[in-house]
Structure formats: structure tokens, C-alpha cells
Structure 1
Amino acid sequence: MRPLRALQPQSLISALPVLLGVLFALLPGSPASAGDRVVVGGRPVDAAKHPWVVALASRDRFGTERSGQFCGGALVGARTVITAAHCLSREVLGVDHGRVDDLHVISGRNDLRKATGHEVKVRKKWINPAYDTGTNSGDVAVLTLDKPMPAGSTIPMAGRHDKGYKPGAAAEVYGWGDISGYGDYEPRLRAADVDMLEDSACGRAYPKGSEGAFDKDSMVCAGVREGGRDACQGDSGGPLVAHGRVVGLVSWGAGCGEEGRPGVYTRVSAMADLVREHSA
């Protein structure tokens, strides 16, 4: 099973309550114990102060407890959200994305169990036709919202030569996903501090294989040398931010926070022209 970082639909996993949506369960390596909260090393942040971090939600597919959240995204225009293409796959949703009629985007909701912030229906979806499910390259989709989010809610996309891509640059990854590697989800938005890594390090960590293959033209890696801070399942599509711009989208990786196995992100600068072409 490929190590994508999205949840599985509730209807497909109700028989495994301890491992809800854990796509990494079949991967090599042992995740930290359920009580070890440092496996992804995140901290709670105020969603209202980070309105450009959005949750993708479908209560029909993922239940009502956490507003139906299953992936993340970044608000790069008042009506434009970028996320991972695999978030809209049959593998994640359990059905064709065209059959999911209640897809919404949530911004500024500090507790997914409540109704604060802004929740807007998705009007149109564009999924990159060049997304390669074998290598995970081109993992991007553009969502057009039914109505605009409030002014000041967006974040700019990084350009090709943005300083945020420099190895060693400090970055943050945001999401509502698993904090333990065992399907342990919290309702509040979290962020983890990571470092941008050299392409060569990513290539060594992920040569072509069953997990995917690192492609420096469409992907970027981030993490910490000793492991312990990373995105995890449920974080797919969420933003990796450096120097105030979104440089990556959570895409894939082996395990969660494992040493020598950094998170792999869609390189936003490589997709920015496509995003603009398919924006509202």
C-alpha cells in the first residue's frame, strides 16, 4: 500500500477503530507508541490566525465528529484552494470524487467538533491529469469555492527561486492529522517545525520503489535529521510554509517522523502556473 497521507472513508475502516485511516500500518518500520506524542512533534496553533490553512471535509464519507475532515489544503485565492490530487482519489474517498456531493472547505475553525470559522462548499474540482500514482509526482488539485473566503485569508505561492526552498530554511507544516502514527487525531489545528532538505538527501531516502520515487522537479522534502517532526495521515494536501509562502503540499512519505525518512511534499512552485490556469 502506498504511503499517502490522507484518511480513509469511515465506511471502509469502521472495523478497525484503533487504526482509523492509518495508511502507514503496512509500511516497514515501527511507529512510536500511542502515548508518544513527539512522533510528529507538533503544537496547537490558533486556526483563526492561520485562515489560509483549510480542512477538506465530507461528513457523508468521514462522519460528523471532526466536521468530516480528511485532508488539508491552502487557500491561495479568495475562492481557490490547492490540495493533493490523491485526496480526491477513489482510494481515499472510497467512491469516485464526482459522487461526493458534500465536499466543503473549512477555515479558521479552532475545534473541528464545533461550527466556528467559515465553511464553504466546493463548486468545482480540477485534478492534475498528469498525477502519477506510481511515483506520486504531480500530486496537486485545485478546488474552486462556491463563494469567496473573507479578505486577508490567503497565502501566496512560492516562486521557482524562492528562498524558502534553500536547504536548511526553517519551515512549518500544518494539519489536523494523526499525532502518534496510530490514528490518534485531535480536533485542533497543529503545526510542526521542520527544515527544508537537499534534493540529494531526499533522493537517497526515496529511490524508485513501491513507496514512490523522489522527483526534484515536482517534489521537495522537509524534516529533521533525528526524526520526530513530520506530517502524518490526515495531513495530506496541507501547506508547508517557509518565509511566508506556501512551498509545498503534504503528499507522501514512509511512516511518520521516522529518522532518515523525511516527509515528501508537492513542490508548489512547479505547479503554480497550472494552479493559476485553473483558478476562479
Structure 2
Amino acid sequence: MAGNGATGRDTEDNTPGADDDTAVGSVRAPRRRLRRWVWTLIAIILVPSLLWLAWWGWALTRPAPDAPPGAGAVTTEEYPWVVAIGYPEGAPDDAPSAKGCMGALVEPDVVVTAGHCLGHTAPEGMEVIVGRSDLRTEDGEIFGVADTWAHPDRAEDDSNYPLRGLVQRLQWPKADIGLVLLEEELPHETIPLANGDDVPSTEGEQGVLFGYRVAPDDAPVLWQQPAPIVEDETCRERMNSTVSPAPLALWGVGYDPDSYLCAGVDETALRVGGTDSGGPLVLDGQVVGVMAWGVGMDRTNPEYLTRVTTYAGDIEDQIEVWSSDGS
């Protein structure tokens, strides 16, 4: 029995290269695991990003709602206090009159507009266009800007953080309102701001919103559109339930009735373009709202405007500062 070479002891594998193969395998295994983790991580980031881009692209290319009944073209002869704000150095080459925002002449040398229209361009890089009903023309006059003022509460409102909309409700910055001081006083009709001493009724009333992006073919021509002012509770419900790809909001957007009012909903939804920020909402001959923002994929949602009466005192104070400085 012993002659068969079995000794009862474990035999040793002396095959050439066996130890080397084992060593190589022990190195390759962690590398394979690392590659799997890398590809998993790429998939986790890339797939949601591609879906978000597709979502955003779809939202951007959706047609705007039709202009509401009663909307139509008007002229700056009828409404000489409606102005366009241009950014000649930063506007796209195809932007008519380099318009980036709108405003209303509330003093001979002061325009009210949205706060987010200010601060990204120095005053010398801005201009105010008066008397131009069709931005494709050279009608009217262009005036230089001496100074700007954005309400400080907007800059200080930093309650949002990156990607907050993924995990909780967004809070839109408050006080989206500001002023533009012109280099000279204009001999044009102005329009008063609504203030705390003489506040017109708003909820349920029908105001008029002005814009250059209302025409069905998006022609850059001044239009007015009836703008029914919506009850605050409806404004809150629609924003709390909205979803949006940009800004990313999966859990809705907060609504602050002290800072904002909203207008146009469902069959009276408004047609507003991006460069119509700052457009005035007029009720009883006063500016009661300044076009600020619209969020969500539902084109029947309201548009949100800064509530002028909340900030009328601060605006008057800033105008007085400029007057005292001799600006």
C-alpha cells in the first residue's frame, strides 16, 4: 500500500506560477470592486441628470398659454410711463432693443422694477427706453442710468440652499423690488405707486398687466392683458403643490402674502415672457404689483408679483435719499 506514494500528508502544489496567479487575483479583485463602485456612482449621478435635462427642455419648449380674453396691443402714447430696461453690453445680439426687463416711471427720474433685474450690471451698463411701443424700431428716447437700488431684504433672504427643492419646499426670496435712478428728469407722465395710506382693494379685483412678450407670435410689441388678482389662499395652494425643473422644486414653493400677490389663474392665466420681469400691474390708476416670477410646469398657474404696498415706505425713503443727495 505504501508503494503507491500516498503518505497521508497534504500534497503541496508546486506548479510553476501558482503563487503569482494568486497574488495577481488578489490585486484584481479590489480593482474590479472599485470599477463597479465607480460605474454605480456615475449611473447615480448621470441618469437623474439626464432625466432632469430632458424635463427642463420639455418645460422650456412647451407653448405659452394664449393671451387671455381682452388682451391686445397698446402704445406708449397711451401709457407713457411704461418703459423697457436695456442691457446693451450683456444682452443677446438678437434681443430687441437689448431689453432685459421692464419698469414703470413713478417719478420724473425714477423707475420701479423687479429687484432681480438689478445688481448684475453696473448702472453705466444699463439704459431706460421710453416711448417705444415696438422694440424692433428706434422710436422714442434712450436715457442713461445714474444709480440703482434693490431692496436689501431680498439680498438678505438666504433661506434656500443648493438642491433644497429636492428635499423640502423652496422659499422664494422676499422683497423682489427695486428702483432705477435716471441721469435726468423726464417730461413724461408718471404713475403713482400704491401705498399704505391709500391701498386699493386687490383680491378679486381686475388689474391690467403690461408686457412686451404677450403677443401670440411673441412679437416684441407692448401689450396689456386683463389680470384678475387671485385670493391669497389660492395663490398659496397653487404654489405649495407646484413642481418645477428650474428652479428645482419637487415639494412646492412657499408663498408669502406680505411679499407677493398673484394674478391670473386657470382660464384667465397670463402670458408672461422672461424679459417682462418688472412689468407693472395697475389697479385704479396705481401700480400695485411688479412682475417677479412664475414657477411650475402648469401653464394655468398664476403669475407672482411683488406687493408694492408692503415696500412703499422703503421706496419713498430711498427716493428721498436720492433727492437729498442731489442725485
Regarding TM over 0.5, the answer is yes
The offset of 1:80, in angstroms, is: 0.7
Structure 1 residues not aligned, in runs of 5+:
1-24, 90-95
**8 Å CA contact retained: 1:178, 1:233:** no
The offset of 1:40, in angstroms, is: 9.7
Say which SS state the counterpart of residue 61 (structure 1) adopts: coil
Tell me the distance in 2 between the aligned counterparts of 1:107 and 1:225.
33
Q: What residue in structure 2 maps to residue 191 of structure 1?
A: 224
Kindly indicate whether residue 140 of structure 2 is the aligned counterpart of residue 117 of structure 1.
Answer: yes
- Superposed, which structure 2 residues align to 1:95-244 within 5 Å? 96-98=120-122, 101-131=124-154, 132=157, 134=160, 135-151=172-188, 153-160=189-196, 162=198, 164-177=200-213, 179=215, 185-207=218-240, 210=249, 212-244=253-285
The offset of 1:108, in angstroms, is: 1.5
CA RMSD of aligned residues (A): 2.9
Kindly indicate whether residue 292 of structure 2 is the aligned counterpart of residue 251 of structure 1.
Answer: yes
Tell me the distance in 2 between the aligned counterparts of 1:64 and 1:40.
30
Kindly indicate whether residue 107 of structure 2 is the aligned counterpart of residue 70 of structure 1.
Answer: no
Alpha-carbon displacement from aligned partner over 1:87-116 (angstroms, at most 9, x marks no partner): 125xxxxxx323x63301112212212222
Say which SS state the counterpart of residue 207 (structure 2) adopts: strand
Q: What residue in structure 1 maps to residue 67 of structure 2?
A: 38
| 1:170 maps to amino acid | Q
User: Taking structure 1 as reference, are residues 27 and 74 closer, same or farther at Cα in structure 2, changes over 3 Å only?
Assistant: farther
Say which SS state the counterpart of residue 315 (structure 2) adopts: helix
Q: What residue in structure 1 maps to residue 163 of structure 2?
A: none
Q: Percent identity?
A: 31
| 1:167 maps to amino acid | E
Tell me the distance in 1 between the aligned counterparts of 2:73 and 2:108.
25
| 1:118 maps to amino acid | E
- How many equivalent pairs are there? 243
The offset of 1:198, in angstroms, is: 1.0
User: Taking structure 1 as reference, are residues 30 and 233 closer, same or farther at Cα in structure 2, changes over 3 Å only?
Assistant: closer
User: Taking structure 1 as reference, are residues 120 and 212 closer, same or farther at Cα in structure 2, changes over 3 Å only?
Assistant: farther
Q: What residue in structure 2 maps to residue 81 of structure 1?
A: 111
Kindly indicate whether residue 316 of structure 2 is the aligned counterpart of residue 276 of structure 1.
Answer: yes
Structure 2 residues not aligned, in runs of 5+:
1-54, 161-171, 243-248, 323-327
Instruction: Indicate the structure (1 or 2) with the bigger Cα radius of gyration.
Output: 2
TM-score, normalization: structure 1? Answer: 0.76
Q: Which structure shows the bigger proportion of residues in helix conformation? A: 2
Q: What residue in structure 1 maps to residue 85 of structure 2?
A: 56
Q: What residue in structure 2 maps to residue 8 of structure 1?
A: none
Q: What residue in structure 2 maps to residue 267 of structure 1?
A: 307
The offset of 1:128, in angstroms, is: 1.4
TM-score, normalization: structure 2? Answer: 0.66
Say which SS state the counterpart of residue 226 (structure 1) adopts: helix
Say which SS state the counterpart of residue 109 (structure 1) adopts: coil
Higher relative CO (CA 8 A, sep ≥ 6), structure 1 or 2?
Answer: 1
